[in-house]
Chain A
């Protein structure tokens, strides 16, 4: 009897799945066009899955092995099942393979079940709780129906009742694993996830055989010239189709939630919920079915949307509240952790663009900062002619006078900040000690546009960027060095789309180079225990984790690492304009970060970012001092043994002080 039913069940399931797939693709195609090479993408899929995605998943060894067993078993079992039971190729070898595959899958599903027994808060409940049972149903059902194929059981073993029960189990398995894949069950992630990998809007973020870790962290420019391009994302259908596809790939594993600093601080943001809300939006409906952690302080079930309705309501509620979008620090911790390669930050900035450019509704001090940027080219609204006030006694060489140097020292807007001025002075001292040929733009420098862009004001960003690019194009230099990772990121990764291509280095990278080249010598470290805080825009955005540690090591410092360090570093709370908007939460992000510092017992936390310095120094009753790497280096400078008598500065009216 089963021999008759099985092919019908299998092909019916496949047919239903095909209908579901068509429906799902139509949902995605509500999004705007996005030019990605489809065939090339499909061809790259195996590598992207097996290398890049696995790289992320493998950070959790147990889960990785579970997934390999379950998913690998399922893919093999499904294909073999179609051959053996669908097409009737009752070959004992295929049957044996099918048994092995389904057994493997069953073992995997036991681990899935174990994980679901007392799941961590980050995992969504709801339909996901039945998934291990479905996995077991499928694998067990397939296993049992295959036993006769290999002759372990007679073909007509058991009664028709047993056959019916078995058929029911297989139906359950097929319904979840095949039909559910395209009709919206937990297994949707496999279908959407695979296609998302193939058609990812940032193909450059994946590694290639040629080597080199793929990295793509710069925001994509808005085409402000084309009137057909919406200014950011107002409705779900304003996302590109492959962004919608990406949202649909979410497995609700909550790794993003677990690392999100805003979520931890009790601000109304949960990246997982945000992505799920986008899924609700693309299909239409309410968030009542969401079974994970809510946005802190916001009950589930009160928001709703549809593909062509606004995501953020001008009044009342729609799909997402604006404060959720403004809570993000753009730290990329979620993106870094996402096994499905979803680009949360892109989505958030897309939606912020609409709020800022179309509504003019940038909350908190955001509007003031943008006004300042428009009026004065710096976020603080300072007299643009005062950018070099901190260096009046340093006689800094200017690009305008020299035209050509080895290093262009990019100051950033920290030049207006008394705290960061100490870092800059320390850096100048270091550059001079190493006899680096450098110059500054001085008053010709403008804000890089980082904050404007992340507050959604793409127009101001592009205006600043184009004018900076025009200024830089007048001069010749080997590289730009800056102590500001935000400037570093924007100049290095985001100006290229607008025509500015530069070799940009963070000061820690440059100092490490100078040290390794024997151009700096340090006195031994006499201070206490030190930890290092990785700035998001240096680490996750640009992959520079080593140079700062190399410099600290050269200073004789053994870094007492925080649990959250390197690519898992916790944000200081200062990125993405978050401190400007200042959405209230239950805790402050920098307080949590300084607590991380405290846990190491360090007396000093070394940083490499003006924003981090400001945020961490703002913590009341902190247990550790906050100092930039440049300051530590400047303090430790001694004359190089090899160097001749200290070169008398050409102009003796140059201050030695860092303060």
Chain B
């Protein structure tokens, strides 16, 4: 039986998990009302359980004490009994579908922020500053230690009373327990530091207190790191020693293992490996821990594919696989495997939109699945067929917004035609996927291609739709998702011309798509600081160009998320790309065979020049509005959306009005340049009621 290794139940403590697939703890940023697991939170986890996930460990970094701030990331607050009834709702919702749910509990020690909410004084074994959050802290006192140990026990009691199936003690990501473990930050000379036993003491006292509080019939696990990857941190051998030491108590029911520490920007990127990483890059670390412990080991890091999961489990490297981002992309992953619909699984592409939002304190969302965590609003993962009239829907544009619109309309049972001027679907995703280490972003398109074929959408590729062609089809609804073009004409001094012979600048799209051959000595001016600029820099450097990337922002790639800019930087620095900031592109002119780019320092106004053979400008997208304005006046709704209905996830009123002609909706970059998620979200919420 295919995937049989996934579907073997397993005992964790006295709890039976129905399969080997876990949604491991991550910070959701959904716990509102002071850290309570309210409806959005419950429905998010219920969807995973409904979709067949065996075990969900919720609440990454849920706090046990009031001096570990939860507000920054809207994490779950277990420092009060007020949480118990909320947990009961959560547990019932998951149990109803046969899933199990535990929660990660922690005190984050120094790894937080102090400058808000209760203005907490952060704590750490030796008061050493944490660089990622720029957080300073006090050296923890004996009284604090015992108070926090007691808080852990009380938090575990609340989880148990709330009906959850277990707790996972976070001793990873440089939280308080592993701050005590790591000699890098624990410089104490009392009974809480120094020798191995002393450094282990805090975690051990937490474990003993928790176990004493909850007894034997409640799961208590630990999440640990497999290797901190810091020369002065905990090595893999250290971690094996630590795991074996805790395992020997017989009080730990499972270990979750993660590769890499994360108290620097560069190590943080390892923790949630983006698309530039190979599959399961740190499995060997988890397998190493499994060698020395007697209880089940869970490992999650870049396990996205059921075949990959099967291979890992069959190989016996670990006992359970974490497929956390995989579940954010598709909470029905397990159900689809069981239904024999593996091809219909929306696979995580490692864009890390989810985690990069989380690090900014924003709610976790999926770049390609707009329904995730919006279940409570009524946004469906599975689109039901419409009971209303069958409509002729024409979608223009095969980028993410257009593909989603076509998919949703086809799932509703309508007759859908999609026009795409290019020879292939994908839109800007196709361009983005050309950069080194970014090819996997094309997975978004791959899924849509399969779905649109399955749904028998009439694809007119290589066909630019004009007004006459559209109206010939006698559509009931026209959805425009025509995107836009690079906005190079904003400043005439840049010397952009539509005539490529004359134009002084080219766009990052020209470079990435291969339309324009890479120069040898290239200046990239990046006014946007998202992916396109650094991708073009990486691409050009990869082709052997000497590259300088210049921005007027604080640094190149400033708007690329926290788990992704480090992998760009690794690549750019290695290829000797020069990164310059605070400079605006003032002017480009031709001199001899070359080009001169004049740069202006934003703060001094001083001008400097670069002599290059190619100037690449990234200045965002200018919406393509021609078709919209050609159709607008003829459409029944004049192209307008009812915003109240849209934001309330209600059907557009125009859908239920009768009349001749067609309805016109536009979404994505052809309205205003935003991102992939914005285009897909608009497509879903507009089209779900077609």
Contacts and interface: CB of A to CB of B under 8 A. Distances in A.
B460 interface: no
A36 interface: no
Contacts of A390: 7
Interface in A143-158: none
Given A417-B1, A653-B95, A657-B52, A392 B340 contact: no
B9 A652 contact: no
Interface stretch (B64-72, B96-104, B466-474): B96-104
Contact of B340 (A418, A652, A653): A418
Given A652-B92, A659-B335, A418 B1 contact: yes
A390 B54 CA distance: 12
Nearest to B8: A389
Contact of B4 (A382, A392, A393, A394): A382
Contacts of A655: 18, 96-99
B98 A382 contact: no
Interface string A646-658: 0000001111110
Contacts of B95: 652-653
A270 to B, nearest CB: 35
A656 B96 CA distance: 6
B339 interface: yes
Nearest to A653: B95
A652 B96 contact: yes
Nearest to B9: A392
Contacts of A659: 52, 335, 338-339
Nearest to A390: B7
Interface in B588-645: none
Q: Which of A386, A390, A393, A655 has the most CB of B within 10 A?
A: A393
Contact of A657 (B19, B50, B337): B50
Contact of B338 (A394, A416, A422): A422
B98 A421 contact: no
Contacts of B97: 393, 655-657
B98 A653 contact: yes
A419 B18 contact: no
A392 B1 contact: no
Contacts of B17: 392
Contacts of A654: 98
Q: Which of B19, B92, B97 has the most CB of A within 10 A?
A: B97
Nearest to A617: B340
Interface in B77-114: 92, 95-100
A421 B334 CA distance: 14
B98 A657 contact: yes
A309 interface: no
A380 interface: yes
B16 interface: yes
Contact of B98 (A393, A416, A422): A393
Contact of B9 (A389, A419, A421, A653): A389
Interface in A615-659: 652-657, 659
Interface in A387-418: 389-390, 392-394, 416-418
Contacts, number: 57
A419 B16 contact: no
Interface in A503-533: none
A394 B335 CA distance: 16
Contacts of B18: 392-393, 655
Contact of A419 (B4, B8, B340): B340
Interface residues of B, number: 25
Nearest to A655: B98
Interface in A359-393: 380, 382, 386, 389-390, 392-393
Contacts of B16: 392
A417 B338 CA distance: 10
A657 B50 CA distance: 7
A533 to B, nearest CB: 19
Interface in B45-68: 50, 52
A525 to B, nearest CB: 14
Given A392-B16, A421-B338, A657-B97, A416 B52 contact: no
A419 B1 CA distance: 11
Interface in B258-272: none
Contacts of A417: 1
A417 B97 CA distance: 21
Contacts of A422: 338-339
Given A393-B98, A418-B338, A653-B95, A380 B1 contact: yes
B50 A382 contact: no
B1 A394 contact: no
A418 B92 CA distance: 26
Contacts of B52: 657, 659
A382 B96 contact: no
Nearest to A422: B338
B335 A382 contact: no
A393 B96 CA distance: 10
Q: Which of A382, A386, A417, A655 has the most CB of B within 10 A?
A: A655
Given A418-B338, A659-B338, A389 B96 contact: no
B205 to A, nearest CB: 32
B467 to A, nearest CB: 37
A478 B1 CA distance: 33
A656 B9 CA distance: 17
Contacts of B337: 418
A422 B2 CA distance: 15
A416 B1 contact: yes
Contacts of B340: 418-419
Interface string A271-293: 00000000000000000000000
B19 A392 contact: yes
Contacts of A380: 1
A386 B8 contact: yes
Interface string B1-24: 111100111000000111100000
Nearest to B52: A659
Nearest to B334: A659
Interface string B334-370: 0101111000000000000000000000000000000
A659 B55 CA distance: 16
Contacts of B3: 418
Contacts of B4: 382, 386
A578 to B, nearest CB: 21
A377 B335 CA distance: 28
Contacts of A657: 50, 52, 97-98, 335
B576 to A, nearest CB: 52
Contacts of A393: 18, 97-99
Q: Which of B9, B97, B98 has the most CB of A within 10 A?
A: B98
A42 B469 CA distance: 83
Contacts of A652: 92, 95-96
Contacts of B339: 422, 659
A652 B92 CA distance: 7
Interface of B: 1-4, 7-9, 16-19, 50, 52, 92, 95-100, 335, 337-340
9 contacts: A386-B4, A392-B19, A418-B3, A422-B339, A652-B95, A653-B98, A655-B99, A657-B52, A659-B339
Interface of A: 380, 382, 386, 389-390, 392-394, 416-419, 421-422, 652-657, 659
Q: Which 7 interchain pairs have the tightest Cβ spacing?
A: A655-B98, A393-B98, A392-B9, A392-B18, A393-B18, A659-B335, A653-B95
Given A392-B17, A654-B98, A655-B97, 6 more contacts: A389-B9, A392-B9, A392-B16, A652-B96, A653-B100, A657-B50
